[in-house]
Amino acid sequence: MHARIANTTAPAFRSVLSSFSKRSSWICTSCQLGSNRSGSRRHLTTQPRSEKPYYITTPIFYVNAAPHVGHLYTMVLTDIIKRWHVLKGEKALLCTGTDEHGLKVQRAAAKAGIDPKLFCDKGAAIFKELGQKAEITYDHFVRTTDREHKEAVEYAWFLLQEKGFIYEQKHEGWYSVTDECFYPESAVQLYLDPPTGRKIMTSIETGSEVEWSSEENYHFRLSAFREDLLEFYKANPEWIVPEHRMKEVVQAVESGLDDLSISRPRDRLTWGIRVPGDDSQTIYVWLDALMNYATKAGYPWTPSHEQAGGWPADCHVIGKDIVRFHCIYWPAFLMALGLPLPKKILTHSHWTLGGSKMSKSTGRVVDPFHALNRFGSDVMRFYMAYEGRLRDDSNYDNLRIIGLYSKFLNQQLGNLASRVTRGKRWSVRGAVERIAGRPAEEWSEGPGSKFRNNSLATIANSVDACFDSYDPRAAVFEIAEFVRGSNAFFTMSRPWGKVLPFGSGDPGDDVDKIIYLSAEALRMTGILLQPCMPNKAKMLLDQLGVQHDRRSFEYCKLDADLDYGTPLVDLGSAHEGVLFPPLLSEE
């Protein structure tokens, strides 16, 4: 059976449901044709077709242990991208949530001595709290224990089964509870555990312990999608960012695909969604979990209405350790279901601590709540965006955070903001009134012309290009270099030494030009930093007197705003209302 499947049509949808209802007692009550039950979120599929919003997702996080700073980074990275699209005037949706099924959650709940659902409720609440504390503007928080998610997974299973992509067979192999997946013989190795002296089998890829498993379960015909996947990769060579992971995925698929075990016997795994029509089996956690992205986009939807909820996803943001699941299994599932594939997979590397990977299972973690309480959400968001890498691992270091704060946020951005807005011998508003809107020819030479034409005129497009290529770190670097250049321009221009000794409130044309260009640099910086540092950016724009309806990307260009300069807040004394005050201690 060829893997390329056309989108399900309305008659086929009815036929499938009819077929399933005859063979099984199961039928998704909220998907029954003709259902007019009020309150169902699936009413959106009957609404007139609307423009597709930008849809970005984080992976859903396991609740078997508390979150660490790596989870915070994934959330922040995703939120910055979402906020950037909002800044550009687009409607954007962010989906995050928790993965609550599977053997390791089952065992963690048993170890804690509480009911699995209660265990998951507590875990989900912690991740929600983390999102709120880090200013994550998520629109959906999905839980795999949600009823609507369960129904969507069951419906997807029925479609896959109806199309012949699921079959029963005995499965033997090495299973990792930590990774929730099977590994072939070639992917495991014998390992001597130093603390205990035990000889154990581990995954070569992840280092997780594996155990031998032999059982009857259901399989997905993953092998049938090898050629279609390779064809898709060839047509979309930049689908995975960064590029080297795209090459790794292509090589893995070219080497061959085995069919995928997609269920576990209920006597081994009780905590999960039952296989429809076979209560003795539980659906494989990764098939269950991956469907979350479509669930919150309204799946199952009626034909041609998937875009109302954002599908296909514009970007999945994931860690490098789950690339195989998202870049091989997930697109194969979607192809089998006849659904459009996500447009981009943004993969990032890990955060290390003392050179070793952070891991909840080993206890080598940084508590994100403690970090946020210590440094604040804006500083932590900026640090993670500035230091977090896509290709190589990043090492978490409190001294790096303190250094970045002191040397850049305080001494560069904060210093420039204070000197420009608090100057006693000039006025930002006066400079804007007298200088803004002058013809470009006037800036062909003379004081500030190089800075204006080479930096101010290009920064917005440079940052936008970084986001277009899905490199938020490069975007933050562009902004940081722009701020350093602006600070250097102000210092070298020495406006305090050029103020004319006469004409109260009119320091002279040269000073006005310096102040105006420096204020423009701060105004653009404030606009560009909003996705990364929403609170500090707001504070900066308030101090500059930028009206709230002029803080979008369209205003991030020279002379776009001629009315700012009168602070919207009290600037206070030299020791109050400072954007980035000096740290009390740098220990």
DSSP three-state, residue 181:
strand
Assign 176 to helix, strand or coil. Answer: strand
State whether CATH 3.30.470.10 applies to domain 398-555: no
Give the residue, 411 or 7, on which the prediction is more confident: 411
Query: Could you state, in order of their start, the residue ranges of all structural domains in the chain?
Result: 10-30+52-375, 398-555
The CA distance from 30 to 7, in Å, is: 21
Q: Is 410 helix (H, G, I), strand (E, B) or coil?
A: helix
| Residue with tokens 């930093």, as numbered in its chain | 529
Distance between CA 520 and CA 164 in Å, rounded?
62
In the predicted model, is pLDDT for residue 372 greater than 90?
yes
Average pLDDT, integer, range 178-185: 69
Contact status, residue 202 vs residue 175, Cβ threshold 8 Å = no
Q: Is the pLDDT of residue 30 over 70?
A: no
CA distance 276 to 287: 14
| 13-27, 45-59, 343-357: least confident range | 13-27
Residue reference for tokens 């995954």? 203
Say whether the peptide bond before residue 312 is cis (omega within 30 degrees of 0): yes
Least-confidence region, from 183-197, 240-254, 288-302, 339-353: 183-197
CB 357 within 8 A of CB 60: no
Q: What are 585's two structure tokens? A: 């201690």
**Is residue 6 predicted with pLDDT exceeding 50?**
no
Q: What pLDDT sits at residue 42? A: 39
Please name the residues in contact with 31: beta carbons below 8 A apart, sequence gap of 6 or more: 17, 42, 151, 155, 300
d(CA 70, CA 365): 8
pLDDT for residue 70 is more than 60: yes
Is 90 exceeded by the pLDDT of residue 359?
no
For range 300-328, the mean pLDDT: 92
Helices marked H in 3-115 — which ranges? 10-23, 69-87, 103-112
Q: Does 471 have pLDDT greater than 50?
A: yes
Average pLDDT over residues 395-404: 96
Which tokens hold the place of 182? 């099977």
Please answer whether residues 212 and 174 qualify as being in contact, where contact means their C-beta atoms are separated by less than 8 angstroms: yes
Task: Show the tokens assigned to 378.
Answer: 């804006």
* Average of per-residue pLDDT values in the chain: 88
Closest CA to 292 of 493, 131, 144: 144
pLDDT at 360: 61
Q: Length of the chain, please?
A: 587
Average pLDDT over residues 377-385: 98
- Percentage of the chain beyond pLDDT 90 is 71
User: How much is the pLDDT for 171?
Assistant: 65
What pLDDT is attached to residue 326? 97
Cis peptide before 300 (omega within 30 of 0): yes
Ranking 85-89, 347-351, 518-522, 579-583 by mean pLDDT, the lowest is 579-583
Rounded CA-CA distance 193/201 in Å is: 10
Closest by CA position to 101, among listed 210, 330, 263: 263
What integer is the mean pLDDT of 498-514?
85
Judge whether residue 177 has pLDDT over 70: no
**Burial per residue of 247-281, b for 16 or more beta-carbon CB atoms within 10 angstroms, e otherwise:** ebbbeebeeebebbbbbbeeeebebbbbbbeeeeb
Angle at 545 between CA 544 and CA 550, to 5 degrees: 105
Q: Find tokens 């695909």 and name the residue.
A: 257
CA angle at 314 for the pair 82 and 96, rounded to the nearest 5° = 55
Q: For residue 573, what pLDDT band results from cuts at 50, 70 and 90?
A: low
Neighbours of 485 (CB within 10 A): 17
Q: Which helix (H) or strand (E) holds 129?
A: helix 116-133
Alpha carbons 562 and 558: distance in angstroms, whole number: 10
Contacts of 336 (CB under 8 A, 6+ apart): 3, 5, 159, 160, 163, 165, 220, 221, 225
- Characterize the bridge pairing of strands 181-183 and 166-176: antiparallel
**pLDDT score, position 354:** 80
The model's confidence at residue 576, banded by pLDDT at 50, 70 and 90, is low
Helix, strand and coil in the chain, % to nearest 5: 50, 15, 35
The answer to whether the beta carbons of residues 524 and 551 sit under 8 Å apart is no
User: What is the pLDDT at residue 9?
Assistant: 35
- By the 8 A CB rule, do 545 and 429 touch? yes
* CA atoms of 299 and 525, how far apart (whole Å): 40
Specify the higher pLDDT residue, 122 or 360: 122
Residue 190: pLDDT band (50, 70, 90) is: confident
Among candidate residues 126, 136, 61, the one with its CA nearest the CA of residue 381: 136
How far apart CA 322 and CA 62 sit, in angstroms, is 13
> Are 152 and 299 within 8 A, CB to CB?
yes
Query: Residue 1 — very low, low, confident or very high, per pLDDT cuts 50/70/90?
Result: very low
| Domain boundaries 10-30+52-375, corresponding CATH code | 3.40.50.620
